[in-house]
Amino acid sequence: MRPLHILSLAVGASALQRQISLSPTASCPWRLPPPQLACSIDELDDLSSAILPPRPPSPPPSKWEGPHDCVNQYCIFSNPGFADGRGIVTITTARAIEKLKAIEQTRNIVHPPNPPPYTIAPIPAKGLGLLANTTLHRGTPIMRHTPAVLIHRSFLEHLPPRRQHALLDAAITQHLPLTLREAFLAQMGHFGNPHKISDILITNSFQMDLGGDDNHHYGNFPEVSRFNHDCRPNVAFHIGADLTHTTTAVRAVQPGEELTISYLGMFEPRAMRQQRALQAWGFACTCSQCGLGEGPAAKSDGRLEEIARIEGAMADVASGGVTPALLRRVVRLYKEERLEASVAGVYTLVAMNWNMLGEEGMARKYAGLAAEAAGGEGEGDAVAMRELERDPRGHFTWRRRVGG
Ligand SMILES: C[S@@+](CC[C@H](N)C(=O)[O-])C[C@H]1O[C@@H](n2cnc3c(N)ncnc32)[C@H](O)[C@@H]1O
């Protein structure tokens, strides 16, 4: 089996690591919503028994089944009723399944936007991808999905492949509901591994930590796998504590524009980003940022270095060099670099530093922006920033850099 290439993605304070990659695939038309019926309610009442299709059966209740088959300490557990009948299958340990059950209790109801604001279409030289089918604005939700498959990281990384295959096959083909199984199997494997399920998992999984010791898993979200990469993407993603994967537009997007996420650390210099894209996903990155000429590319790398320096100073309460000009400068650098998909962390630092300088109004403004960018109103980072926004003077950072 090919080694897993784990790449870091800084998403606010919770750095997520993931590796996804697919080859071009045949076709995958998005299902359109059914046409509106042109009848009045009364007519519908009259006709309902004759023309309306039978109500779909209500989803099975959420109920964990298993352990089914096991290899060493890793067993298959499934829950066909998970997330209102979407289903989920996991290969994990007895300890981690208890963690998963506890997390499920905190899960919010997940409704993906309907109809979806995108269409799946072939993209030149990239295989399939996602095109906006309507005008999107900053904050417009794109997708919200729970994982289809969760595999304990040690199972994939430490067991010999021949010991993994039978369990993986059983998990997907026997314990995943049909619709989700088909979506899973429609994903592409990049590495040409003859064991298709392994190939799909290795190339399309987000690394997720369920919390506690040794609870790292690979999470697979088949719908999300259609996003192509851009180093300056127009979509940000976030995996919440309840395991929901959320994607959101980070700037205005016109109909027909491709929707992209970043597979790579957006703060790495161009040469490193290009090397990683080639190594882990097999494509030479020619996105707008990688396609810059030598001069502009060197300037871009210089801005990224300056951002790192300023953020270091902002994170150090003892640093004497943090001024209003520096806080304005770092925000401007993010704008110049088009790093809208990665602003949650810097807005948090900027908000706290304005507060440390005793600038209540600016602290409020950036705390609000940070909470909005954190990706989930219930998440810890967003809660903390809403608290700062509500009461800057009561916050522990108030005037920390200026005394009094
Ligand atoms: C997660 S998949 C994205 C969806 C994929 N295009 C498909 O057809 O299902 C990742 C794969 O898409 C292609 N890809 C993604 N971003 C690309 C880019 N910026 N340039 C070229 N190919 C890209 C590469 O083949 C990569 O291994």
- Give the structural domain span for 195: 7-23+58-261
pLDDT score of 166 more than 80: yes
Q: Tell whether ligand 1 has an atom less than 6 A from the beta carbon of residue 25.
A: yes
Q: Tell whether ligand 1 has an atom less than 6 A from the beta carbon of residue 368.
A: no
pLDDT at 202: 82
pLDDT score of 50 more than 50: no
pLDDT tens track for 199-231: 899 888 888 999 888 899 999 999 999 999 999
CA-281 nearest atom, ligand 1: 27
Q: How far is the CA of 277 from the centre of ligand 1 (A)?
A: 10
Our measurement of the distance from residue 163's CA atom to the centroid of its chain's CA atoms, rounded to an integer in Å, reads 30
pLDDT at 55: 52
pLDDT (average), residues 151-178 = 96
pLDDT tens track for 370-386: 999 987 666 778 999 99
Q: How far is the CA of 128 from the centre of ligand 1 (A)?
A: 7
Mean pLDDT for all residues in the chain: 84
Q: How far is the CA of 93 from the centre of ligand 1 (A)?
A: 32
Residue 273 lies in a domain: no
Q: Tell whether ligand 1 has an atom less than 6 A from the beta carbon of residue 243.
A: no
Determine the straight-line distance between the first and last CA of the chain, rounded to whole angstroms.
60
Does residue 231 sit in the same domain as residue 311? no
In DSSP terms, 259 is beta-bridged to: 130
- Token couple for 45: 């009442």
Q: Tell whether ligand 1 has an atom less than 6 A from the beta carbon of residue 330.
A: no
Phi first, then psi: what are they for 359, rounded to 5°? -100, 90
Does residue 88 sit in the same domain as residue 215? yes
pLDDT score of 24 more than 50: no
Three-state SS at 381: helix
Q: How far is the CA of 19 from the centre of ligand 1 (A)?
A: 12
pLDDT tens track for 286-344: 999 999 999 999 999 999 999 999 999 999 999 989 999 999 999 999 999 999 999 99
Does residue 246 sit in the same domain as residue 320? no
DSSP states of 9-40:
E--TTS-EEEEE-----S--PPPPPPPPP---
Residue 286 lies in a domain: no
Q: Closest Cα to residue 385, out of 364, 403, 404? A: 364
Three-state SS at 150: strand
Q: Tell whether ligand 1 has an atom less than 6 A from the beta carbon of residue 281.
A: yes
74-108 burial, b for 16+ CB within 10 Å, e for fewer?
bbbbbbbbbbebbbbbbbbbeebbebbeeebeebe
Q: How far is the CA of 255 from the centre of ligand 1 (A)?
A: 20
* pLDDT bracket for residue 54 (50, 70, 90): low
pLDDT at 395: 97
In one-letter notation, the amino acid at residue 264 is L
In DSSP terms, 289 is beta-bridged to: none
pLDDT at 217: 96
19 or 111: whose pLDDT is higher? 111
pLDDT (average), residues 20-41 = 25
pLDDT score of 60 more than 80: yes
43 or 21: whose pLDDT is higher? 43
Q: How far is the CA of 47 from the centre of ligand 1 (A)?
A: 48
Q: Within a 13 Å sphere around the CA of 225, how many CA atoms are in the beta-carbon half? A: 31
Sheet holding 245-249, edge to edge: 141-145, 245-249, 235-239
Q: How far is the CA of 230 from the centre of ligand 1 (A)?
A: 10
| Helix axes 161-175 and 178-185, enclosed angle (nearest 10) | 140
* Total domain count, the chain: 2
The answer to whether 147 and 243 are in contact (CB under 8 A) is yes
Sign, Cα dihedral of 147, 152, 153, 159: negative
Does residue 233 sit in the same domain as residue 318? no
Only one residue has tokens 């810059």, namely 292
Q: Tell whether ligand 1 has an atom less than 6 A from the beta carbon of residue 229.
A: yes
In one-letter notation, the amino acid at residue 218 is Y
Q: Whose CA is nearest to atom 19 of ligand 1?
A: 229
pLDDT score of 285 more than 60: yes
Give 296's contacts (C-beta < 8 A, 6+ positions apart): none
Residue 145 lies in a domain: yes
Q: Is ipTM > 0.85 here?
A: yes
Query: Among 281, 286, 287, which residue has the most ligand 1 atoms within 8 Å of its CB, making it the best to mutate?
Result: 281
Q: Tell whether ligand 1 has an atom less than 6 A from the beta carbon of residue 274.
A: no
* pLDDT bracket for residue 188 (50, 70, 90): confident
Q: Tell whether ligand 1 has an atom less than 6 A from the beta carbon of residue 251.
A: no
Q: Whose CA is nearest to atom 25 of ligand 1?
A: 23
pLDDT score of 19 more than 80: no
Our measurement of the distance from residue 216's CA atom to the centroid of its chain's CA atoms, rounded to an integer in Å, reads 16
Query: Among 184, 247, 283, 285, which residue has the most ligand 1 atoms within 8 Å of its CB, making it the best to mutate?
Result: 283
Q: How far is the CA of 224 from the centre of ligand 1 (A)?
A: 12
Residue 174 lies in a domain: yes
pLDDT score of 46 more than 60: no
pLDDT at 113: 85
Give the span between the Cα atoms of 100 and 385, in whole angstroms.
Answer: 27
pLDDT tens track for 77-127: 999 999 989 999 999 999 999 999 988 877 666 677 889 999 999 999 998
Domain's final residue, options 238, 261, 284: 261
The answer to whether 219 and 206 are in contact (CB under 8 A) is yes
Q: Tell whether ligand 1 has an atom less than 6 A from the beta carbon of residue 226.
A: yes
Is it true that the peptide bond before 24 is cis, omega within 30 degrees of 0?
Answer: no
Query: Among 2, 19, 22, 118, which residue has the most ligand 1 atoms within 8 Å of its CB, making it the best to mutate?
Result: 22
Q: What is the DSSP letter of 277?
A: I
Q: Is the pTM of this model over 0.90?
A: no
* pLDDT bracket for residue 404 (50, 70, 90): low
Domain's final residue, options 242, 261, 280: 261
- Token couple for 79: 């829950």
pLDDT score of 194 more than 60: yes
Does residue 197 sit in the same domain as residue 303? no
Does residue 164 sit in the same domain as residue 219? yes
Does residue 237 sit in the same domain as residue 102? yes
CB atoms within 10 A of CB 363: 25
Give the span between the Cα atoms of 176 and 197, in whole angstroms.
Answer: 13
Q: Whose CA is nearest to atom 23 of ligand 1?
A: 126
Q: Tell whether ligand 1 has an atom less than 6 A from the beta carbon of residue 225.
A: yes
pLDDT score of 165 more than 50: yes
Give the span between the Cα atoms of 179 and 185, in whole angstroms.
Answer: 10
381 or 63: whose pLDDT is higher? 63
The answer to whether 248 and 170 are in contact (CB under 8 A) is no
Q: Tell whether ligand 1 has an atom less than 6 A from the beta carbon of residue 128.
A: yes
Q: Whose CA is nearest to atom 22 of ligand 1?
A: 126
pLDDT score of 57 more than 60: yes
Phi first, then psi: what are they for 84, rounded to 5°? 60, 40
pLDDT score of 48 more than 60: no
Give the span between the Cα atoms of 329 and 306, in whole angstroms.
Answer: 10
Residue 253, domain CATH: 2.170.270.10
Does residue 80 sit in the same domain as residue 196? yes
Residue 271 lies in a domain: no
Q: Closest Cα to residue 155, out of 232, 217, 235, 238? A: 217
Give the least confident one: 76-80, 175-179, 275-279. Answer: 275-279
pLDDT tens track for 224-274: 999 999 999 999 999 988 899 999 999 999 999 999 999 889 999 999 999
